[in-house]
Amino acid sequence: MRTVQETLKMLDRRDLVDAFARRMGTRFLELKWQGSGQMTYSKLKKAYRRSIGSFLDDLLELTPRASDDGRIGIIFAFPDLERYEIRHELIFEDELRKKHEATEGYAYSFTDWDEVMGFLVADNGFSQEHIYELMAEVMYEITWNGFSWEDMKKYREKTCKSMDEMFGSEEWSEGREENVEPEPSIHISLNERLDQLKEITEKVRANKKCCRELYDAAGVIYYEYLRGKELERVLSSLPSSKMKANRGN
């Protein structure tokens, strides 16, 4: 597997910038050019591509590093057919080997960019077939509140401070339920999800119509099924022995 940074470097730059621009849409304009006044479409397009290119250069100049806890992060993609979207998640290799398709996904919006550049990109077919869209998703994930790491650090510090103030407040402590045990997570295998889909299909055929409740239930089950299948493929692509992080020098 290649790292995120290695993958970014090997892709066609123009196509990558275009993929990221499509993913960003107008949010890039809102963040980048607030109060900049009117611009012609031609100038706006050039400025748009130039700014994205500059952001990409910043990512490629970073020195990737391993996570502080030594865990190996893997970015993978899977389809969301209900929304006609490509979804992606960060998973960890040790969890994937233990939990297989029940592996949890993690957000990484506030993760240091040099660490993100050191995450591995999954070799499963779907991820590689949609590699430009997947890398655009990664770039989108880390630019929620700025196109420089300094902007992101400021927002992260501000957010952490706000959360500390909220969860450390007397009102929060008094209103919180004490000694509440979290509900145990229930793992449903891929075969069980297929059985659920068959059951819903039979209900639809019996009623000769598809009510919204059945449609929504089928969408959730199929989403989890497709995610689980791609996780299985990522797992099968891993070497038999535990991987070592492939980081830059």
Q: In this predicted model, what pLDDT tens digit does every residue of 124-134 receive, in sequence order?
A: 999 999 999 99
| Cα distance between residue 50 and residue 220, in whole Å | 40
| Cα distance between residue 48 and residue 86, in whole Å | 24
Which secondary structure element, helix H or strand E, spans residue 186, and what is its range?
none
pLDDT class of 162 with cuts at 50, 70, 90: low
The answer to whether residue 245 is domain-embedded is: yes
The arithmetic mean of pLDDT across residues 158-185, rounded, is: 56
Residue 28 pLDDT > 70, yes or no? Answer: no
The answer to whether residue 121 is domain-embedded is: yes
Question: Do 65 and 73 contact (CB within 8 A), yes or no?
Answer: no
The answer to whether residue 12 is domain-embedded is: yes
The torsion angles phi and psi of 38, rounded to 5 degrees, stand at -80, 145
Q: What would the DSSP string read from start to end of 25-42?
A: TTHHHHHH-TT-----HH
Provide the percentage of residues in the chain whose pLDDT is more than 90. 37
At 183 the three-state DSSP class reads coil
Q: What is the arrangement of strands in the sheet containing 85-92, beginning at the earlier edge strand?
A: 85-92, 73-80, 120-121
Which one is predicted more confidently, 179 or 70?
70
The torsion angles phi and psi of 148, rounded to 5 degrees, stand at -135, 150
Residue 119 pLDDT > 90, yes or no? Answer: yes
Which pLDDT score, from 0 to 100, does residue 27 have? 55
Lowest mean pLDDT among 47-56, 138-147, 172-181: 172-181
Which pLDDT score, from 0 to 100, does residue 39 have? 58
What's the number of domains the chain is made of? 1
Lowest mean pLDDT among 55-59, 82-86, 198-202: 198-202
| Cα distance between residue 65 and residue 119, in whole Å | 9
The answer to whether residue 66 is domain-embedded is: yes
Closest of 50, 70, 59 to residue 142, by C-alpha: 59
Which pLDDT score, from 0 to 100, does residue 91 have? 96
Question: Do 122 and 234 contact (CB within 8 A), yes or no?
Answer: yes
Query: Can you read off the two tokens belonging to residue 213?
Result: 């409740």
Beta bridge partners of 89: 76
Provide the percentage of residues in the chain whose pLDDT is more than 70. 71
The answer to whether residue 184 is domain-embedded is: no
DSSP-derived letter for residue 107 is: -
| Cα distance between residue 203 and residue 197, in whole Å | 10
Domain that holds residue 35: 1-160+189-249
| Cα distance between residue 155 and residue 167, in whole Å | 18
The answer to whether residue 168 is domain-embedded is: no
The arithmetic mean of pLDDT across residues 25-47, rounded, is: 59
Which one is predicted more confidently, 123 or 165?
123
Note if the pTM is more than 0.95.
Answer: no
**What residues have CB less than 8 Å from 208, skipping those under 6 apart?**
none
Residue 176 pLDDT > 50, yes or no? Answer: no
The answer to whether residue 2 is domain-embedded is: yes
Residue 161 pLDDT > 90, yes or no? Answer: no
The arithmetic mean of pLDDT across residues 128-153, rounded, is: 87
Which pLDDT score, from 0 to 100, does residue 165 have? 59
**What residues have CB less than 8 Å from 201, skipping those under 6 apart?**
218
